[in-house]
Each structure stands twice: as C-alpha cells, then as structure tokens.
Chain A
Amino acid sequence: MVKEKATDRPGQQIPKEYREVVEHLITVQGWRYDKSGQRHPVLLPADRGKAQLRVPTTPTRDPRAFKNFVADVRRRGGVWPPPLGR
C-alpha cells in the first residue's frame, strides 16, 4: 500500500494571512498542503472528494481576495474562523 507523503508546511511563499488559515487547516482539520513541483501551492481538503484549492503566492492587491479564499475553504468543508474553546 502506497502511503501519502506527509503534508508540507506553509512558509514564506504564501502571504501571512493565508498562512494562518492554512496552518490551522493542516494541523487541526486534517487538510494537506502540497507545494512540491508547482509554482502555486495546493491545499487538499480532508474530504478527498472535494476539489483542491490553489493558494496565492503573492500578496493580493485587493483585500477582498482573501475573503473569497476563506469562502472557498468553507465550501470545501473547512472550518474558519476556528471555534472558540469553552
């Protein structure tokens, strides 16, 4: 059986505000992050039936782009913002 490789970790290649979301998705929600061999890193939802999501590598000039990114994460079953503890 071929095992999937461990997830990559987001670094400086993606903007900080996106990195915060990606970190949470891969450490808490079982998403995977793949930055190998492509210019644009890819997020793979925990639900493998859901579409992959490209992560921008440069800060976008339009701050609304981040909102669309979060909306896309939520469409794929990702939880954001993180739920508060008790």
Chain B
Amino acid sequence: MIIHNSWSVHIEYAAPEGAERLTHDDERWDAFADAGADYAANVGWDASVPFEPDRYSVSLYVDAEDPFEAAGRARDIASKMVWDAGLPEWPAVRLEAKTEAELDAELAEPNFPLLLGAAEVAKYLGVTRQRIAELRKRPDFPKPIVELAAGPIWLQGAVSTFVETWDRRPGRKPAGMPFGFRVAEDGQVATDDHEQAAVQFVGSLHLAGASAEEIAERLEAAGFKPPEGDRWDTTTVRRIAAMTPKPARRP
C-alpha cells in the first residue's frame, strides 16, 4: 500500500565561484516569493522565501511517498520558481526533508535550553544557596554554562543528570526543624523514629522526676544520638523535656 505523506522540504542554493552576484534589494527576490505563492494551492507552499546575496533557499510542502520522492518533486518546483523569477540557477548545497508530523513535533519542542541560576538550582535540589556553593566543589557537579556578573547559570539538563547520580546524604536539619522530625526525600516533614524514641525516653524519665544530668547520662548509656555533637548536654535535655506533656494534676 502506498501512503503519501506531506513533506516539508528545505533546499538551499549557493552561488558558485564567479557567479552573478545579487543584491538584497534585487526585484527578482520579490518575483521569487510570488512564484512560490502560485504553488500554494497545489502542494502547500511557504510564502516566505529566505535569502542572502550569495545564497537562496526555499521551504515548501509536497506530497510524496518517501523523502527521496519528496526531494525530487521539491527540486522540480523550486527550479521552476527560480526560472520564473529570472534568478540565476545556482547549485543546491543543502537539502532537508521531513514529514509534516515530524516538523510539528520539532516545532512543539522549545529550541531554547532551560537555564537555572543558583537560586533555581537550590530550589530544584531542595537545598540552600550556601549548599550550592559547597556542591560546586564536587567533581561530579555540573559546571555552569556561563558565569555572569549576576552569578553562574546552569543548563537544567546538566543539573537533572547530576540529581540522577547524586548520592545524597542527610545533612544538618534545616533551621526550625524540631528534634524528632526530619525532611524526607520528597521534601515533606516526616517523623524520625530514632529521635522520637529519644523524646519518649526523655519524657518518661522527666515525668519520673529524673534530673537533666541523670537523663543525659541515661541517654548516652542507652545509645541515643544527640542532635549535635557526640554528647548529650543538659540544655538539650531540658528543651526536649519541655516538649513532654505534663501529667494532669490530681484533684
């Protein structure tokens, strides 16, 4: 079964050495554009005709079974246009043929790379801008495509690639995150089981009347890890104990 597709064909012609030179305001360019309009009803025609003085090109649509047939048809039409306009016949130096669907898909894609500044990269990675400065020291962190006075600019694709291979380790808690909670990988607040157990441990001892010093010692003995440093201090213990609900007073 023969299926005819609509093909967008782009042909460029270049002036050979010693050929007649054209100026950009040559009337024949207008004639060339007009000659294209004549074919619009038959094959689909792009009325815009790009040119430069030593090169001209044409983009047009033809119906054909495959790109080779499309190229042949487009060449014939373009040759007639050149002839009708009175332009010099220069050799074709470039030919591009793609189906209309292919061109549609291509035009639907942005042809501008997505760019990120430091603030956007920080947001994308869920870290602070200061952390970005640290991450940049890693050899696997992408280099910015350009360093402007306003700061570095990255291609989003490069940052995405980094994220795919980033062996992310939990760092310090973000400011304001209470003991017993953490930021999950999806950016949501989640409970930290180990720290929640420590909170309950502190709470039970506090309610039993233990002092902050005693609780700190018991925490270390039980192997609970403090929020910062290697040792539990009484200030931290008191802060956690203050989170513990007080028992109801007896009547």
A52 sits at the interface (CB 8 A):
yes
* Residues B30 and A40 in contact, CB atoms below 8 Å apart: yes
* Residues B111 and A38 in contact, CB atoms below 8 Å apart: no
* Residues B33 and A54 in contact, CB atoms below 8 Å apart: yes
* Residues A72 and B107 in contact, CB atoms below 8 Å apart: no
Stretch at the interface among B39-47, B137-145, B168-176, B186-194: B39-47
Which residues in window 47-86 of A have CB below 8 A to B?
50-56, 58, 60-62, 64-65, 67-72, 74-76, 79-83, 86
Q: Tell me how far the C-beta of A19 lies from the nearest C-beta in chain B, rounded to whole angstroms.
A: 13
* Residues A68 and B59 in contact, CB atoms below 8 Å apart: yes
B51 sits at the interface (CB 8 A):
yes
Given contacts A54-B29, A61-B41, A67-B8, contact A72 B112 (CB under 8 A): no
**B residues touching A (Cβ–Cβ < 8 Å)?**
6, 8, 10, 24-25, 29-30, 33, 37, 40-41, 44-52, 55, 57, 59-61, 100, 103-104, 106-107, 110-112, 114, 120
A–B pairs, 24, beta carbons within 8 Å: A50-B52, A51-B50, A51-B57, A52-B24, A54-B29, A54-B33, A54-B49, A60-B45, A60-B46, A60-B47, A62-B41, A65-B40, A67-B104, A68-B46, A68-B48, A68-B60, A68-B61, A71-B10, A71-B103, A72-B57, A74-B111, A75-B10, A83-B110, A83-B112
**A residues touching B (Cβ–Cβ < 8 Å)?**
37-40, 42, 50-56, 58, 60-62, 64-65, 67-72, 74-76, 79-83, 86
* Residues A54 and B111 in contact, CB atoms below 8 Å apart: no
| A42 and B24 alpha carbons, distance in the complex (Å) | 10
Q: Tell me how far the C-beta of B155 lies from the nearest C-beta in chain A, rounded to whole angstroms.
A: 13
Contacts of A38 in B (CB 8 A): 25, 30
* Residues A40 and B29 in contact, CB atoms below 8 Å apart: yes
Contacts of B29 in A (CB 8 A): 40, 54
Prevailing SS type, chain A contact patch: loop
Beyond A69-B48, A71-B59, 16 extra complex contacts between A and B, CB < 8 Å: A38-B30, A52-B50, A53-B50, A54-B33, A55-B48, A56-B48, A60-B40, A65-B40, A65-B45, A67-B103, A68-B10, A68-B60, A71-B8, A79-B111, A79-B112, A83-B110
